[in-house]
Copies of this chain bind each other. A is one copy, B any other.
Amino acid sequence: MKFSINRSSFLRTLNDVSRAISTKTTIPVLTDVKIAANASGLVLTGSDADISIEATIAEDDESNTLTITEPGAILLPARFFTEIVKRLPEDDMQLIVGDNLQAVITSGASEFTINGLDAASYPQLPEISGDNSLTLPADILHQIINQTVIAVSTQETRPLLTGVHITIDGSKLVAVATDSHRLAQRSLTLDGVDAHADFIIPGRSLTELSRMLADDVKSVDLRIAENQVLFQIGTTAFYSRLLDGNYPDTSRLIPTSSTTRIEFEAPALLAAINRASLLSHEGHNNVVRLKIEAAANTVTLFGNSPEIGNVEEKLSFAKLEGDDLEISFNPDYMKTALQGLGQSSIEVAFTAPLRPFTLVPSEDHENYIQLITPVRTY
């Protein structure tokens, strides 16, 4: 194999596929990056068995200044090779692999010789046919991910809950995640789509995927197979394993009525929750208390740590209606929920001190709902 290339094009693609490469893998070959040069360009592959990323650098895109003189393939230690490429002295670099599996990397007066491995020892990526596919706008996909992945479980005791459950029925897409203490559900109508799918994708895969949806990405092609999903982003293919099993029916968890409703500005409420959690974090059970007094038209937030002290704050709100209520909850769940809601005005709706309460954006409240289970404090 022999090619020369613009170093920053190469480094950018190397960083993209490195997202899938873990240094803590039990399969040694997966700490490597696979580099293959063929007729159409350079193909880089990284994988941690759960996520695989395959990116192509086209020879006919002049900005890459890619010239392949000799096709071939090699595996090189990913972290180390990336460090080298990052620090090479010139704008261009050359890579030559001889018969001995040694890669010689040159740039300016600097010459690295690195021991590689036979590319044939790298695992095959799954093959996913084009039968079950649809196209999503990248910004919408990014939003769906960020609004749901915040509620997935980080505990492996119930593996299904570490994923986001996505169902597509005709033109309607619903994404839902819950760790059994809180839930986030995003719904969406996809114009001109008529598809059917039902799958659970690991939260970590979605987090990595969303990092690849930079501003210049306009759309993503989605293809679903038995136990794999493929997101095609331009010349980059992002594969993820799917979780196998029946996701719990979450629709019955979402309350359909409420007895107390308050409208807040999300950023102001978030700031108050952050203050109250300073004290709750020092306590044993990390709980804050909200006291709603309808007649007095006041909402007060309390945080307390027996050793350090306490905080109380009268919250400002746009609207309060319904019954008096006192409710305690984990402020970290509220923080994450509010981050998912961004700068918007929101409605929080309660039914009883020990029943889950909901957060929805005041506008477009049909399509995004979050649910938080309160904490019993007595």
Contact = CB atoms under 8 A, between A and B. Distances in A.
A315 B312 CA distance: 65
Contacts of A109: 313-316
Interface in A258-296: 271-272, 274-275, 278-279, 282
Interface in A304-326: 307-316
A70 interface: no
A272 B110 contact: yes
Contact of A278 (B84, B111, B312): B84
A88 B311 CA distance: 11
A41 interface: no
Nearest to A316: B109
Given A111-B311, A310-B113, A275 B87 contact: yes
Copies of the chain in the assembly = 2
A234 interface: no
B278 A309 contact: no
Contacts of A307: 115
B278 A310 contact: no
Given A87-B271, A89-B271, A271-B87, A110 B311 contact: yes
Given A110-B313, A311-B110, A84 B275 contact: yes
A279 B83 CA distance: 10
A87 B278 contact: yes
A115 to B, nearest CB: 5
Contacts of A89: 271-272, 275
A274 B87 contact: yes
A80 B77 CA distance: 44
A83 B275 CA distance: 9
A13 interface: no
Interface of A: 77, 80, 83-84, 87-89, 102, 109-115, 271-272, 274-275, 278-279, 282, 307-316
19 contacts: A77-B308, A80-B278, A80-B282, A84-B275, A84-B278, A87-B275, A87-B278, A88-B275, A89-B271, A89-B275, A109-B314, A109-B315, A110-B272, A110-B275, A110-B311, A110-B312, A111-B312, A112-B309, A113-B311
